[in-house]
Chains A and B, each alone.
Chain A
C-alpha cells in the first residue's frame, strides 16, 4: 500500500473539491483497501466521506425510496420498506458477501466496486483495465468468472455486485454531486462498457460523488433474486437474475429483469422483457427470452458454460416468479 494523505470531508462539497484535486473517495473501504493493499489501486490521497450526512433511507414524494449513498448494505437489506416492497433488493444484498462486509460496505461504494477478474488483481499480469495498453491476460487465461455479454476485445471483466443487479431491475436512478453541481441519471447510464477503454468504468467525472440512489415506486408482481455460485455462501455470482414479474389471467403482464455475473455492468435488455409480455408462462416462453438475452453472448473458454447456465438460471427464476405471481 502506497503512502497517501488522509483527510476527512466535513461536507459534500469539501469531498468533491478534494476529489477533483485527485483524491479518491473512501467510504466503506471494503473493496478500495483490498485493492490498495495489492497496489492495484494506489491513490496519493484519500478523502474519507464516511461522516457525511448520507445515511438516511427516506420515502420520496413519488412513493419511491431515496437511499443515502452511505447507507450500509446491512441497513438497506434490513430496512422495513425494502423488505416489504423491494424484496428483490433485500435478497440481492443478503446474497452478497457476509454480514461483516455488509456492515461496512455502502450503497455508493457497492455500485462502484471493481471487478474480481484475477488478472486485474495481479499486478504481474497484463490488464487493460489496471494498466491501459498492456493487454488482457484473461482473454486466453482462466476466465471462468468473466463476462459473456457486453465485453470487448480489450476486457472481459464482470461487475461483481448483487445489489446493483437488483437496483437495475427496479429501475433505480443515481444522484450525484460534483464540483460542477449535481445530476440524476439512470443506473444503467452510470456504467460504461469497456470498449477500448476498460479503465473507464463509469460516466462520473473527477470529484463527482454518488450521494443517493432513488428507487421508483415498488413495481407490481412477484420479486426474486436467484444467484448461482460455486459455494453455498460467501461467493460471487456465476450467474444471477433479479426479476420482478406480474401475471394476470395466465399471461405475463410485466417483467423487469437484470442479470449479474454475465457482463461488465449489471445487465438489462428490454427486448428480453418485451418478449415475455402477453405470453403464457412456459419453458418455451422462457427459452425464447433467453434466446434474445444470449443472442450476442460470447464465451472465452473457461466461461463458455455461463451461456447455457444463464439460460437455465433465467428459466428457474421465471418459473418461480410466474408461479408466485399467478
Chain B
C-alpha cells in the first residue's frame, strides 16, 4: 500500500507491506538506521522517534497508520559536524557507552524537555497541581522508558541536566 510520511522535513512516498512498522520503514526502506531496534516490542525505547512532535516507540507503530504524519529521527536532530546541544552534551558527559540505545535516549530527552516545559507531571512529581521542576529524580523517571544495558544512566541524566540548565538560562535571559 502507498504511504506518505514526512521524515526530517522531507516528504517520502513509500509502497509498503501493511505489516511494516515505522521503525522498519526507516531502517529497511529509507536506510535511516540511526533509529535502533532493541526489542521490537515497546520494551526498551531504542526506537524512540518523534511523531508530530511527540515521542513514541516506532516499533509499535504501523507505517500505514501514520500516513501523512511528521516524523523526526536522530538524523534530523544534528550531524557529527553540527551536533544538537543534547548530542554535544552526551559526548561531553559520556552519556553512552556502546551507543546503541543512544539515539533513542537523545530523541526521548528532547521530547522530555519539551514535555516538562509544557508542564507535564510524572509518576514521581510530588504534586500534580504545579508545573514540575526537573530534578534528577524527575529526569530519571521520565527517561525510564529508555533502557541502557551499559548502564550510562547517571551520565545520561547529567547530560540532559546540562541542556536543561542551558535552556533555562536562555529563557531567563530572554525574560
Contacts and interface: CB of A to CB of B under 8 A. Distances in A.
Given A6-B1, A37-B40, A99-B112, A30 B145 contact: no
A5 B18 contact: yes
B108 interface: yes
Given A100-B55, A232-B144, A233-B141, A26 B123 contact: no
A104 B121 contact: no
A220 B55 CA distance: 35
A98 B145 contact: yes
B45 interface: yes
Contacts of B19: 1, 3-4
Interface stretch (A84-92, A133-141, A142-150, A256-264): A84-92
Contact of A101 (B1, B62, B115, B145): B145
Contact of B62 (A29, A232, A233): A29
B129 interface: yes
Interface residues of A, number: 35
A234 B17 CA distance: 31
Contacts, number: 101
Interface residues of B, number: 40
Main secondary structure of the interface of A (DSSP, over half): mixed
A253 interface: no
A5 B144 CA distance: 35
Contacts of A103: 54-56
Contacts of B21: 33
A233 B146 CA distance: 11
B97 interface: no
Contact of A30 (B42, B121, B123, B140): B42
B60 interface: yes
Contacts of B102: none
Contacts of B61: 29, 33, 104
Interface of A: 1, 3-6, 8, 26, 29-30, 33-34, 37, 46, 48, 50, 74, 77-78, 83-84, 87, 90-91, 94-95, 97-101, 103-104, 232-234
Given A74-B54, A101-B56, 6 more contacts: A5-B18, A77-B120, A84-B128, A98-B45, A100-B57, A104-B56
